[in-house]
Structure 1
């Protein structure tokens, strides 16, 4: 596909990137219905099991900082294959764990493998496409990724019902093997040797320093990352909120989870279509306003003791729909014109997202209440900080704020 093609189609390489990016949501969402079973089997409090999610997010954050320079030096394919192998082996070790300490450790190792599926697809997309087309591609990528939050909890719930929580991780092993069987023979390298950066400490440090000082990149990265942190807070808190507080049967947990994921998918596809007439900045600005509105409503209803499952679901669906606009457009704007440091930029962006998500997930895991107050508070804080970061990045432009020229 031409880097500046105006008519956007879905090439096979983009479908593969979507499948790779779905590996992260799979490892996050599939074992959520198994929290209770894991806690019972390993004889630990459920709050400690919830921290395995935070440990996974922390591992993703750290690992992406490694994959970025590797992808800029060795190309996209070889680091990806190494990550998939590590993910597969660690998933097997998780399935064989017999205490919570081992599960925590192997979840971190699993994250170090799965991080490749988050860094590499973003870099490959920017290798092929310009800012507007990349925003469309990332929106379509969310369609593929969004299937996993719908299917993964349902698959996990069935695996726990028919077998045990260990079956969840065996399924992850099969997924890793399947992706390896496709990537090794069929994926084509998208970074030519002439465009690769040296793997030297000084060069890596200069790339990270440049990105950390790039106000536009940091603003858009935090806009997307802090918004996504709210999603991770929701993921960590949803089993307790839906099952423990509102009494939802674990078999139906996946349905509620899927409704919210559907909101994300539909909104991301609407965003892709609107990009034919609107710029990424225009869509981002409006979506972030709605993001704050939905979370503030959830917090207000909770503080007034008016919240129930229906109102909570409506607020959550509005929040997730807003994310369907925020994430692809903020990502595309943040990665615009990063050139030879694109892999490092993708890694740093993903790391900021995962660090924020780990903090948000850890916060809701230690603040338990018999109302959705911890969740509503975390969502509101993340949405507000995301909005502030986005406004900061957009105000850096002089003249037309909706111009697609890169920030400096």
Structure 2
């Protein structure tokens, strides 16, 4: 297996993969009130499309690391992006709010591959100093996406309706899939055949949960993001 050389183009690709999360949560926010009217449902049910995405995104973070350790980074990223594109297209044609919520949950299961496995690729191929620089690019993408995505999604909503936002998300996934296919080789030089062993996985999770500093950081970020998502799910109904 030939090692992959770190390049600026590859750094851009990994940064875009990390942006999956904020793009998917923020792009369609301006459409929430019209979605409620069009699907003949209430505010709480439309907000569930955001909650379902967050739950799916959180759950699958526990799985993509071991999966990529076992089967390789490239294969797992491509599988996740394909799932994401399929779920995005399902959301485009979802006839009811219940099916849209289900589609958003599955969409999150696919989208989560970007931030999790993308960071693993950085660790695989970039030297320590360069890896820190790439991680800073990723942090910038996480900060910029919530600024750009709602504006872009709002314009698409005005021009083509709320379903066009999910079509745009699917197109974003197709572009990233093509970039991964073309630019990203396998970076996991030593696949671990025991990575998916349930006992080992539980032991690893238990080790993290016993680390008070880790738990403290997790709780801090959880509270911060809880406040952010309360705003995200409510702002469009107040301001629009």
Global fold match (TM > 0.5): yes
The CA deviation string for residues 323-366 of structure 1, in whole angstroms up to 9 with x for no partner, is: xxxxxxxxxxxxxxxxxxxxxxxxxxxxxxxxxxxxxxxxxxxx
Q: How big is the shift at 1:197? A: 4.8
1:104 aligned onto 2:109: no
1:171 aligned onto 2:165: no
Q: Taking CA–CA contacts closer than 8 Å with sequence separation of 6 or more, which of the two structures ends up with the larger relative contact order?
A: 2
2:226 to 229, 239, 247: 229
Residue correspondence of structure 1 range 78-89 to structure 2 within 5 A:
78-89=75-86
Number of residue pairs the alignment of both structures matches: 234
User: What CA RMSD, in Å, does the superposition of the two structures yield over aligned residues?
Assistant: 2.2
Q: Which residue of 1 aligns with 2:38?
A: 41
The CA deviation string for residues 43-99 of structure 1, in whole angstroms up to 9 with x for no partner, is: 111222012101110111111112121022222211111110000000000000111
Q: Which residue of 2 aligns with 1:53?
A: 50
1:77 aligned onto 2:74: yes
- SS of the residue aligned with 1:80? helix
142 and 160 in structure 1: CA distance in 2 versus 1, 3 angstrom threshold: same
Matched residues in 1 for 2:60 and 2:195: separation? Answer: 19
Residue correspondence of structure 1 range 15-164 to structure 2 within 5 A:
15-127=12-124, 128-130=126-128, 134-164=131-161
The CA deviation string for residues 353-392 of structure 1, in whole angstroms up to 9 with x for no partner, is: xxxxxxxxxxxxxxxxxxxxxxxxxxxxxxxxxxxxxxxx
Matched residues in 2 for 1:242 and 1:196: separation? Answer: 52
189 and 218 in structure 1: CA distance in 2 versus 1, 3 angstrom threshold: farther
Residue correspondence of structure 1 range 215-294 to structure 2 within 5 A:
215-243=212-240
Q: Which residue of 2 aligns with 1:271?
A: none
Identify unmatched segments of 5+ residues in structure 2.
1-5
129 and 228 in structure 1: CA distance in 2 versus 1, 3 angstrom threshold: farther
1:187 aligned onto 2:170: no
241 and 137 in structure 1: CA distance in 2 versus 1, 3 angstrom threshold: farther
Q: How big is the shift at 1:134? A: 4.9
1:210 to 202, 207, 212: 207
Q: Would you identify which runs of 4 or more consecutive aligned residues in structure 1 move more than 4 Å?
A: 132-136, 194-197
Matched residues in 1 for 2:100 and 2:166: separation? Answer: 11
- SS of the residue aligned with 2:94? coil
The CA deviation string for residues 126-163 of structure 1, in whole angstroms up to 9 with x for no partner, is: 33354x76554333212233332222112211111111
Matched residues in 1 for 2:192 and 2:98: separation? Answer: 43
Q: 1:211 touches 1:217 (CA, 8 Å); kept in 2?
A: yes
Matched residues in 2 for 1:110 and 1:72: separation? Answer: 22
Q: How big is the shift at 1:109? A: 0.6
Q: 2:70 touches 2:191 (CA, 8 Å); kept in 1?
A: no
Q: 1:75 touches 1:196 (CA, 8 Å); kept in 2?
A: no
1:198 aligned onto 2:198: no
Q: How big is the shift at 1:195? A: 6.3
Shifted more, 22-31 versus 206-215: the winner is 206-215
